Structure formats: structure tokens, C-alpha cells
Amino acid sequence: MFRPNSGMSFVGRARERAVFAQAMASSEAELVAVYGRRRVGKTYMIRELLRDAICFEITAAYGAPVADQLANFATALAVTTGRAAEPPASWRIAFEQLAAALKRRSARKRVVFFDELPWLSSRRSGFLPAFEHFWNAWAVKQRDLVVVVCGSAAAWMIQQLLSARGGLHNRVTRRIRLEPFTLSETEQYFASRSMSLGRYQILELYAALGGVPYYLKQIERGDSASVAIDRTCFAHDGALRDEFDKLYASLFEHADRHVRVVRVLGGKPRGLARNELIAAAKLTSGGGASRILDELEESGFILRTPQLGRPVKDAVIRLIDEYSLFYLKWIERHRGGADSVWLNKRGTPAWRAWSGYAFEGICIKHVASLKRALGIEAVETTESAWLHRSRERADRGGAQVDLVIDRRDASINLCEMKFSDGEFAIDKPYAGELRHKRDTFRRVTGSRKTLLVTMITTHGLRDNQYARELVDKSLTMDALFGS
């Protein structure tokens, strides 16, 4: 039985390991599509997990003409056959040669890997029709064949492959949207490199860089989080100083519209409703705007959170890519500045405000870990935001809860997320705010469920009269590291 490679250097990806194990155990031909943002580790994962079973692999060259891509194909095929050959005249002939070579391979499972498939399928290249014919006429009949196609251009992968209407309609048997590491996987990654960073330091790094493996790879042993962020993001030769400009251009055609959306959301860390976002980004309402938002969501840059008691169309859309948020808030404004930019910004009011919003976003992305820490992993829940606006003076202008966990067991967690260097202390003004939120939520929603005020902080709550009176559940950042 095939088992994906589980070397010590390979971290996390439990769900993806399971998908590949199922594909390799299948009694039918499998077409597995893997997609995800630039630098997230797609190629590395495929090679590591399927290493011994890959009998043909081609990596496309970005922007290369068809002749060069076909020459690369000939080189890759020579590795499979052990014999050099002239480049094929077309992709149709290339796939005929590949099928002939695979027929001579004997193995329990044969894996064919096309890396950066969208780059192979340039306009007028003829690649996609040839690939369709290869799959439908030959490959689908090979019970021992697994074809893995991979691409960073999520829009292309979705439109041309996953939602194809032509010869590849419903042909993909399994799909993997590879996402950045969770905090738990990030901790495992640093441990695999013998780097003993504490959880607070990891959290600070994650707030700036997210869980993108390539970004985390830039952190050197012995660095503090602040030193690492200064070196990678603000130094003239920092690896991530100009990453933003390359990131969206590599994923989307006409990426300027996607970037407009991202920039608008970067200035609204708690998000916007769809109509507000479309107006602010100067998009035309309708199919074009919907496609852009769908592509950004599918690529993991934005998240739509329903508003409790509101129609689906009123969902809050927020930017959840940590690096993009950090770039727009800090890197773009301070590139080329003095040394130790980040070290000098820590502790300032702007830093504290950014840290708070970043921590909220991380908590929302790790809600599964929070549920596990609350002991409600098995309880059916819906997660939403809640906002009540009022112009009545007695209503204090309304109330907002960024994370509401509505539970099937007649309970609701009203989650408050607070980032601080030490224990968080609830003072008298904030205690009044908590009471107001809880009481307004009860009055406006009319819910009869038990309301549980839930505090999620970095280092826990200071024990005082307000904490004892108002807080029903308290979690620290350790809850976010739950696997």
C-alpha cells in the first residue's frame, strides 16, 4: 500500500497527505488538481509526498514560447525513457510520446506531474486541447495512473480546469487548494529547523508574514521576530520587500482590479459589505466584480463572514492575508527608510492598533482551533460577525462583535480578541463596553440562548472583579496553536 513520504523535514499537511493517499489507493485513473498562491509550497509538497512514484515531471517556464516549452518536454521525457529525442512538433504529438513512454513503465502506480500548468497553456499553444485528448482518449483508462496538475494562477485553474465546460468538464477527480501553514504547522516548521522561537514570537511573525512557507524560510536561526521582520521586509535587499508587486501579477490576469480590492480592504481591517467594497474599489457591479471577489477568495486572500441575522449578500468581506495587510500598512510606507524600522515601530500606538486587528484576523482564521480549546469541536456551529448600528443616544451608537459562535447546544460565544504584551486587564470603561455589547446583543437579536462572553488574549486575563463578573470563558494564544 502506498504511503506518502513522511520524512522529518516535511511538516503538517495532514489533509493533503490523506488526499494523495486516497488517489494512490484508487482503482481508477486519477486527475488531481493542486492550486494555491505563489510561494505556498505546492511543488515541494507534491515532490515530497509522491517522490518515489513520479515517473514523469515537467515544470513550465513562465512566458516561454511554445517551442521552448516543447523542448523542455523532450528533456523531461528523456529522463523517463533514458533516451534523448528531438522536441515534438506539437503538444498532440508530445502527449502521444508520453503515452507510449508510460506504457513501458511498470509500477503499482504511475504519477505524471505537470508543474505550473497555466504557463504551459499559453494562447494558441494547443496545449489544453491536446491535454484533454490525452486524458479522455487514453489516460482515463489507465487504472494505475495518477496525473497531478499544479498551478499558482488560481483563476486559470478554476476557469479552465475545475469549472471547465469543454472536454475537461468534471474530469478532475480530486482537488487541493493548498493554504498557508496554520500557527500549529508554523510552530512545527520552526521546530523542524531546530529554531526555538516562543509562541509570542511566532505569533508576531505570523501577524506580519502569515504562514507562507517561503516567507517563513527567510527567518534565520537566532533572529528575534523583530530583527527578522526588519531584515526581510524593510532592508534594501530584503526578500519580501517587493513581494507584493509580484504576488498578484503572478496569480491573476489584469491583476490591477484585484489589487484595487486588496488596497481598499487593507485600509478597512474589519472589512466591508460587498456593495461598499465595489464602490470603493471602483468596480462595475455584476459578473466582473463577482469573478474578482471569487478569485481572491478562492486564492485565500479574502474571507466572507456572514452577519448574524442579515442576508448572505450583506456578508462582511475582509482581507485576511497577513503579508498583504502588513505590506500596505508598513512596508510600502517605510521602504528605503532608516535602519531598524520595525524595531523602532514596536510599542507605538500605530503598532498597537495594527497588532490588535492582526490578532483578530488570526483568531477568525483559526476558529477550528478555538472550538477545540472551548471543548465544542463536535458541536454544530455557525460563525458570523454581528453589527448593530443605532443613532439613539441611549444606545451608545450601537455595538459590534467580530466573532459570534452560534452553537446547536443553545449557547452562543461572543468572542472578544485582545492582543497585549502581558496579561490583559479589564478596566472599568472596557467592562462597561462588554456589558453593553452583551446586553445589546440580547435585546436586538432576541436570542434565548445562553450568552457566553469569551475572551481570547495573548497571555491571559488579569484576575480582577470585572473579569470574574463578566467573562465566562478565557483562552490564551496557546488555543490558536492547537492542531
Would you list the domain boundaries of the chain? 14-177, 183-241+335-359, 245-325, 368-481
Please report, as a single letter, which amino acid is at residue 102. L
CATH class of 368-481: alpha beta
User: How much is the pLDDT for 398?
Assistant: 85
Model pTM? 0.91
Q: Please tell me what DSSP assigns to residue 284.
A: P
Question: What's the CATH fold of domain 245-325?
Answer: Arc Repressor Mutant, subunit A (1.10.10)
Coil, strand or helix: which one is 111? strand
C-alpha cell at 311: 442576508
Q: Residue 256 region, left (φ>0) first, then alpha (ψ -120 to 50), else beta?
A: alpha
CB < 8 Å & 24+ apart, contacts of 404-408 = 404/308, 405/367, 405/370, 405/371, 405/374, 405/376, 405/381, 405/454, 406/308, 406/381, 406/382, 406/449, 407/376, 407/379, 407/380, 407/381, 407/449, 408/379, 408/380, 408/381
Question: What's the CATH fold of domain 14-177?
Answer: Rossmann fold (3.40.50)
User: How much is the pLDDT for 155?
Assistant: 80
User: How much is the pLDDT for 152?
Assistant: 87
User: How much is the pLDDT for 190?
Assistant: 96
User: How much is the pLDDT for 104?
Assistant: 82
- Dihedral of the alpha carbons of 73, 116, 238, 253, in degrees to the nearest 10: 120
Question: Tens-of-pLDDT digits for all 483 residues of the chain?
Answer: 455 555 446 889 999 999 999 999 999 999 999 999 889 999 999 999 998 899 999 999 988 999 999 999 999 999 999 999 899 999 999 999 999 999 887 667 899 999 999 999 988 899 999 999 999 999 999 999 999 999 988 788 888 888 878 788 889 999 999 999 999 999 999 999 999 899 999 999 999 999 999 999 999 999 999 999 999 999 988 999 999 989 998 888 889 999 999 999 999 999 999 999 999 999 987 778 998 999 899 888 999 999 998 888 889 999 999 999 999 999 998 866 556 889 888 889 999 999 999 999 999 999 999 999 999 999 999 999 999 987 665 556 689 999 999 999 999 999 999 999 999 999 999 999 999 999 999 999 999 999 999 999 999 999 999 999 999 999 999 999 986
Counting Cβ atoms within 10 Å, is residue 195 exposed (0-12), middle (13-18) or buried (19+)?
middle
